[in-house]
Amino acid sequence: MDAMQKRSSTIQDVARRAGVGVGTVSRVLNDHPNVTQATREQVLRVIADLGYRPKSAAVTLRTRQTREIGLITDEIATTPFAFDLIRGAQDEAWAHQSILVLINTSGNLDLLNAALDQMYDRQVRGVLYAAMFHQPVNLPERFRELPAVLVDCYSEDRSLPSVVPNEIQGGQDAVATLLQHGHRRIGFINYTTDQPAVVGRLEGYRRALAAAGVAYDPTLVRQADIAPEAVYRTTIQLMQQPDRPTALFCFNDRTAMWAYDALRDLALRVPEEVAVIGFDNQELLAANLRPPLTTMQLPHYEMGRWAVHHLIAGNPQPSPTAPQVQLDCPLVWRASV
């Protein structure tokens, strides 16, 4: 390894070759105005010749700041969302000449603390903490000791800035879409917990109905575990009741997938006889179902961007008034409505 690491040139080398002082080189490096055009060009030429690049370790040591942003994830692993979030964060970080440093904690508190240690040691500009799904979280106090933004989660006490999906808007727009297509009896297969997505999407459902002057019918709203049989059975029940729904709003794309199964067994065609709309926009599922599923997209990419932007531009401080931003879930049009 050492063999190949030909000692790269330093600012001294550049200064010498260019016949100037290191201070001057440093100035052109940092776009300081006090350099004549001539010397600047001269220095730039030598830099190019030598292929010189400043060592970030030296810069950090001197300036006490890095161009790194920590991304700590909590077992976000199994979902394809993770990478969208990472991409969004990276794209924004890159726009600020910064780079992502990644740690997945697997939901392990010791690892989380170790991750924070790392972030300190490296003097990152700040830290993102991303959860696997929209939820409240309880983070160690130490999180308040450096700039931090929560993604797809929020601290119980609301003292840290966070960005999450707008579940209500998502639910409302989904149902409004169904309404616009003439549906009046809209079934809703929700999930059983009380997580924000469940509560928010239901609220959106009600608001859309209310806005359209359609009465809320509790027999149309069911809760089912996210499991094949549970959803299958619920769908069958829903569709076999008198005055059956003509459209289905599903808690997420997996739910919709199993509802598809039930509808097929019921010989009900999508979308001709029953319209279906999902949530999440898990490409792998939604785009590959038959017919392709119309669904609401979770704004992971945008949340990643927002979080990094806020970290860099928002100078986030822990405080009771930390912003809690909700990003819209846009409709992704396919063929199930």
Find which of DNA, a second copy, none residue 36 binds, CB within 5 to 8 Å per kind: DNA
Please state, in angstroms and as integers, the Cα–Cα distance from residue 330 to each residue in 42, 47, 214, 255, 307, following that order. Answer: 52, 47, 23, 19, 19
Q: Residue 197 in contact with residue 163, Cβ under 8 Å?
A: no
Task: Mention every residue, 6+ apart, whose C-beta is less than 8 A from residue 315.
Answer: 147
* Residues sharing a CB contact under 8 Å with residue 272, sequence separation 6 or more, in sequence order: none
> Is 102 a binder of a second copy (CB under 8 A)?
yes
Q: Does 35 help bind DNA (rule: CB under 7 A)? A: yes
Which residue has 């080189």 as its token pair? 25
Note whether 72 binds a second copy by CB under 8 A. Answer: no
- The distance of closest approach from Cβ of residue 234 to DNA in the complex, given in angstroms and rounded to an integer, is 59
- When the beta carbons of 4 and 215 are compared against DNA, the nearer one is 4
Q: What angle do CA 6, 11, 14 make, to 5 degrees?
A: 85
Residues that contact DNA, how many (by CB under 7 A): 32
Compute the least distance from the CB of residue 68 to DNA, in Å: 16
- C-beta of 26 vs 118, nearer to DNA: 26
**Closer Cβ to DNA, 21 or 140, answer by number:** 21
For residues 260 and 270, is the Cβ–Cβ distance under 8 A?
yes
Rounded Cα–Cα distance for residues 213 and 216 (Å): 9
CB contact set of 16 (below 8 Å; sequence gap of 6+): none
Nearest CA-CA partner of 260 in 270, 272, 249, 245 = 270
- The whole-angstrom separation of Cα 247 and Cα 318 is 44
Nearer of residues 205 and 232 to a second copy, judged by Cβ: 232
CB 133 within 8 A of CB 197: yes
Binders of a second copy among residues 266 to 285 (CB under 8 A) are: 282-285
Q: Which is nearer to a second copy, 36 or 315 (CB)?
A: 315
Site string for a second copy, 36-55 (x = CB under 8 A): -----------------xxx
**Contact set for a second copy, span 8-37 (CB under 8 A):** 8
Residues that bind DNA (CB under 7 A): 7, 10-12, 19-27, 29-30, 33-36, 38-40, 52-55, 58-59, 61-64
Residues that bind a second copy (CB under 8 A): 1, 3-5, 8, 53-58, 60-61, 66, 68, 71, 76-80, 82-84, 86-87, 90, 99-104, 117-118, 120-123, 145-147, 228, 232, 254, 257-258, 261, 264, 282-285, 288, 290, 315, 317
